[in-house]
Chain A
Amino acid sequence: MDAVSQLQRQFVEHATSLYREGYLDDQFTQLQKLQDESNPDFVVEVVTLFFEDSEKLLNNLATALQQESIDYKQVDAHVHQFKGSSSSIGAQRVKNVCVVFRNYCDEKNLDGCLVCLQQAKNEYLLVRNKLEALLNLEQQILQAGGSVPMIT
């Protein structure tokens, strides 16, 4: 099996497992479909924005939950944003944690919120690593002159 085919197979395996394990959902496929020759780095750009945005939000959440007197409305606003951006990217597991997180905000449940923050962070780091690996494989395939298989 030549180098390109091997890379393509790895890509398919990796992408398929991401969907199967719920890290990514159909929205990510939608993003890939939006990419074209006029904007060949679209997915990488959006994903990068998501990473930057997420790291800011996680920091803001940590700060907000460390306050003497916690403003749960503010915490909820950050979670809402995080839920939105993760949903737009197709980062399903992150989004799901955010849903639970918002419920704890409504209840003003600090312990619940802290647990969710940790979970959100973990899920974010997981999906970030996996996406980076996926996009890396894509790059390698393209550089080797191959085309990126579409996962439907």
Chain B
Amino acid sequence: MDPSSMVGMKEEEERPHVLVVDDSLVDRKIMEKLFTNSACKVTTAENGQKALELLGQGEDIHTNINHHVPKISLVVTDYCMPGMTGYDLLKKVKESCDIKEIPVIIVSSENVPTRIEKCLKEGAQEFILKPLKQSDVKKLRCQMQFTQPMKGRLCMGR
């Protein structure tokens, strides 16, 4: 197998895996497309509880044990969700030993400075206003490129 196709395969496996959390079906669909268009793998969850389960932090320990936990590189969550808000989810991620390193992006349709401050203080990587654009995702994708462990590969930049 020639080196160039091997690199292709490796890149395929190492596509960042993004977890999109939003109670709106319309928004989940759009965000999924935004991220797959930027060469990411995407899993969606309709609420914080499901998101935590997918991150291996579900309350049911049996779910955790039996569940193959995908390696999530980024969590993108809506702020306003019934039950567990995006902020609550952010807190749970940052309080957990296993997954606190995973960057969390909060998205919201409302531009509320106190809300933004609160989220950033709690450890959100970024707060982005909805609706998301392809340019927002491209920027995130570039950031992910440089925070991903390179596993011994030289980062040649893009």
Contacts and interface: CB of A to CB of B under 8 A. Distances in A.
B29 A77 contact: no
A83 B24 CA distance: 11
A30 B29 contact: no
A88 B30 contact: yes
B71 interface: no
Contacts of A80: 80, 109
B130 A84 contact: yes
Interface residues of A, number: 22
Interface string A102-132: 0000000000000000000000000000000
A50 B27 CA distance: 10
B83 to A, nearest CB: 12
Given A34-B134, A80-B80, A85 B24 contact: yes
A81 B24 contact: yes
A121 to B, nearest CB: 18
A36 B134 CA distance: 14
Interface residues of B, number: 17
A49 B24 CA distance: 10
A41 to B, nearest CB: 11
A88 B37 contact: no
B134 A84 contact: no
A87 interface: yes
A39 B33 contact: yes
Contacts of B33: 34, 39, 42
A152 to B, nearest CB: 14
B70 interface: no
Given A30-B133, A34-B134, A45-B29, A84 B24 contact: yes
Interface in A23-70: 27, 30-31, 33-34, 36, 39, 42, 45-46, 49-50, 53
A53 B29 CA distance: 13
B134 A49 contact: no
Contact of B34 (A34, A53, A85): A34
A87 B130 contact: yes
B26 A46 contact: yes
B25 interface: yes
Contacts of B29: 45-46, 49
A39 B30 CA distance: 12
A89 interface: yes
A96 to B, nearest CB: 14
Given A31-B30, A36-B37, A87-B109, A53 B25 contact: yes
A42 B33 CA distance: 9
B134 A50 contact: no
Nearest to B82: A77
Interface of A: 27, 30-31, 33-34, 36, 39, 42, 45-46, 49-50, 53, 77, 80-81, 83-85, 87-89
